[in-house]
C-alpha cells in the first residue's frame, strides 16, 4: 500500500467509524439504485432500453460489491459484501434517500438517475485524489462508468423534456417530486466532516456549486424548470428512510432470508 493510504489504524476510533460509514453510504447508494434499475428488466419501453438499464444496474452493483467489501473490512467484524447487502434491515442501510424512490414511469426513473449521476460524477472525481488510495482506485473505475450513465440519463432528459407536451409534463412532474431529496446530496454531517479533515473525502461544500451548474446546464437543454430549493434534508444516510426502502429490501433479500446461506 502506498504511503498516502490511511490505514484504519492511523485514524482515531471516531475517524475509523466515520471511514466505515462513509464507504458504506457510497456502497449502499450504488446497491439500492442498482436494485431499483434491475426492476425494469423485462419491462422497459424497448428491448434496447431494457439492456441499457440493465447495464447501468450491473455497473452500480459492481461498484456496490467493491465498496461494501471494503466497508466490511473497515468495520472489522467479519461482514462481507453479501452479509452487508442481504442481512441488514432498512434502518441499517445508509443510502441516499433519492435512490430508494420507486421507479415510477420511465421519466421518473431517468430523473432519479440523472440527479444521482451528476452527484456521483462530482464525488468520484473528488475521490481520485483521496488519501485513501483504495477508495481512489474504486472511484477511478466507477467514474468511467458514471460518465456513460450521465451521458445516457442527460440524453433522455433532453429527449423527454424537449419532446412532446406529455413527455415534457411527465418529466417536469418527476423532477418536481424528486427535487426534495436533493438537499441531502450535499448536506455534510459529522461523517463527511471527519473524512474531509482526513483528506479521504472531497469537501461537499465545494462540490455543490459544480453539481448545481451541471444540473442547470442539462435542464436548459431539456427545456425544464429547476424547482424551488427545499432546504429540509432527508436522512437516508443516517438510516432514516422513506417507506419504499423496506418494500424493496423485502424483495431483494427474500432468498437469503428464507434460505439462510443459500448459494448457487
Residues that bind other proteins (CB under 8 A): 45-49, 51-52, 55, 148, 151-152, 155, 159
- As measured in angstroms, the least distance from the Cβ of 55 to other proteins is 5
181 by Cβ neighbours in 10 Å (0-12 / 13-18 / 19+) ranks as buried
- Judged by CB, which is closer to other proteins: 101, or 153? 153
CA distance 56 to 9: 35
- Least Å distance, CB 22 to other proteins, is 32
To other proteins, the closest distance from the beta carbon of 38 in angstroms equals 15
Nearer to other proteins, 48 or 243 (CB): 48
Q: How far is the CB of 104 from other proteins (least distance, A)?
A: 17
Measured from the CB atom, the residue of 148 and 230 that comes closer to other proteins is 148
| Cβ distance to other proteins smaller for residue 68 or 157 | 157
Minimum CB distance to other proteins, residue 46 (Å): 4
Count the residues in the chain: 264
| Ramachandran bin of 11, using left for φ above 0, alpha for ψ from -120 to 50, beta for the remaining angles | beta
Q: How far is the CB of 191 from other proteins (least distance, A)?
A: 35
What one-character-per-residue DSSP string does the chain give? Answer: --TT---GGGS-HHHHHHHHHHHHHHHHHHHHHHHHHHTTTTTSSSHHHHHHHHHHHHHHHHHHHHHHHHHHHHHTSS--HHHHHHS--GGG----GGGGS---SHHHHHHHHHHHHHHHHHHHHHHTT-S-HHHHHHHHHHHHHHHHHHHHHHHHHHHHHTS-HHHHHHHHHHHHHHGGGGGGGG---HHHHHHHHTTSS--HHHHHHHHHHHHHHHHHHTT-PPPPP--PPP-GGGT---HHHHHHHHHHTHHHHHSTT---
To other proteins, the closest distance from the beta carbon of 117 in angstroms equals: 14
Q: Which is nearer to other proteins, 223 or 250 (CB)?
A: 223
User: Which CB atom, from 144 or from 151, has the smaller least distance to other proteins?
Assistant: 151
| 52/227 with CB nearer other proteins | 52
Amino acid at each position: 500500500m502506498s504511503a498516502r493510504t490511511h490505514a484504519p489504524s492511523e485514524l482515531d476510533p471516531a475517524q475509523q467509524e466515520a471511514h466505515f460509514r462513509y464507504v458504506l453510504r457510497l456502497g449502499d447508494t450504488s446497491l439500492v439504485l442498482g436494485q431499483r434499475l434491475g426492476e425494469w428488466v423485462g419491462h422497459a419501453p424497448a428491448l434496447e432500453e431494457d439492456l441499457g438499464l440493465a447495464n447501468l444496474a450491473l455497473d452500480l452493483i459492481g461498484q456496490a460489491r467493491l465498496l461494501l467489501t471494503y466497508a466490511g473490512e473497515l468495520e472489522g467484524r467479519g461482514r462481507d459484501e453479501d452479509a452487508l447487502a442481504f442481512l441488514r434491515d432498512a434502518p441499517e442501510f445508509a443510502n441516499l434517500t433519492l435512490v430508494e424512490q420507486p421507479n415510477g414511469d420511465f421519466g421518473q426513473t431517468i430523473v432519479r438517475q440523472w440527479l444521482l449521476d451528476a452527484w456521483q460524477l462530482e464525488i468520484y472525481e473528488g475521490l481520485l485524489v483521496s488519501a485513501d488510495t483504495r477508495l481512489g482506485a474504486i472511484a477511478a473505475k466507477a467514474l468511467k462508468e458514471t460518465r456513460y450513465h450521465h451521458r445516457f440519463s442527460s440524453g433522455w432528459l433532453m429527449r423527454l423534456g424537449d419532446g412532446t407536451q406529455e413527455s415534457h409534463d411527465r418529466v417536469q412532474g418527476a423532477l418536481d417530486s424528486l427535487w426534495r431529496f436533493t438537499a441531502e446530496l450535499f448536506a455534510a454531517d459529522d461523517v463527511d466532516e471527519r473524512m474531509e479533515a482526513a483528506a479521504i473525502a472531497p469537501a461537499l461544500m465545494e462540490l455543490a456549486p459544480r453539481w448545481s451548474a451541471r444540473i442547470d446546464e442539462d435542464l436548459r437543454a431539456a427545456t425544464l424548470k429547476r424547482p424551488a430549493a427545499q432546504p429540509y434534508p432527508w436522512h437516508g444516510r443516517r438510516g432514516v428512510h422513506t417507506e419504499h426502502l423496506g418494500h424493496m429490501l423485502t424483495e431483494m433479500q427474500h432468498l437469503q432470508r428464507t434460505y439462510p446461506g443459500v448459494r448457487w
